[in-house]
Chain A
Amino acid sequence: AQRVTQPEKLLSVFKGAPVELKCNYSYSGSPELFWYVQYSRQRLQLLLRHISRESIKGFTADLNKGETSFHLKKPFAQEEDSAMYYCALRYNYGQNFVFGPGTRLSVLP
């Protein structure tokens, strides 16, 4: 069965410090991995996907099939990055996502 784990419920860093939000998955097929973000009082929105290999708001994530991981990284955290981050796996080429439990990132001034 498909599963996504995010080991940290809460991650606090100081402004300007590097950030790494961990995500591991289990899926026997070829996975599509995503990071979704939810800012305070806003709806869930796509941050980035592994297929596009792009950097959004300074965040990057690399799919490591050997370690079954898709960690989200940013070299210098900003206060506006404080939000809830969800790692998600899409399977069967549909729009059915398996979400992890989420990590709340708090960037301190």
Chain B
Amino acid sequence: DAGVTQSPTHLIKTRGQQVTLRCSPISGHKSVSWYQQVLGQGPQFIFQYYEKEERGRGNFPDRFSARQFPNYSSELNVNALLLGDSALYLCASSPTPTGNTEAFFGQGTRLTVV
């Protein structure tokens, strides 16, 4: 299955630490988006990247940052972790950043901050 892959699948961090989450999009997909899903809620948009440039940003503090690499993979970084950052982080890829194309989601990275 050559779907969107995310690593690691689970992660436990301590308050104040920094974390990096990784996403590999489907081959040929150039757009990557990140979402945070807190338990009991729907996913909330964090970032979108296309061709290594940020195309959209949700309502998240500057502690959250991301980047996209030439191979279209992406990393999400969160600094100075808070307990409230505990969530499932989802990555979605699509061929283009706009238009009538489907976004495909990865299985997510479950981050627990203690």
**Residue positions of A touching B, CB distance < 8 A:** 4, 43-46, 51, 86, 88, 92-102
Contacts and interface: CB of A to CB of B under 8 A. Distances in A.
Nearest to A6: B42
A-B pairs, top 10 by smallest CB distance, nearest first, are A99-B42, A44-B105, A96-B56, A93-B98, A99-B43, A96-B45, A43-B107, A43-B105, A101-B42, A95-B94
Given A94-B55, A94-B56, A95-B92, A44 B102 contact: no
B67 to A, nearest CB: 17
Contacts, number: 56
Interface of chain A: mostly helix, strand, loop or mixed:
loop
A43 B100 contact: no
Contacts of A51: 100
B98 A94 contact: yes
Contacts of A99: 35, 42-44
A99 B46 CA distance: 12
A78 B97 CA distance: 35
B97 A94 contact: yes
Interface string B13-37: 0000000000000000001010100
Query: Chain B contact residues (Cβ within 8 angstroms of A): what range?
Result: 20 to 34
Q: Which of A44, A98, A100 has the most chain B CB atoms inside 10 A of its CB?
A: A44
Nearest to B43: A99
Contacts of A95: 31, 33, 48, 56, 92, 94, 97-98, 101, 103
Nearest to A9: B40
A97 B45 contact: yes
Contact of A44 (B43, B44, B55, B100): B43
A4 B33 contact: no
A46 B90 CA distance: 14
Nearest to B92: A95
B105 A97 contact: no
A99 B90 CA distance: 13
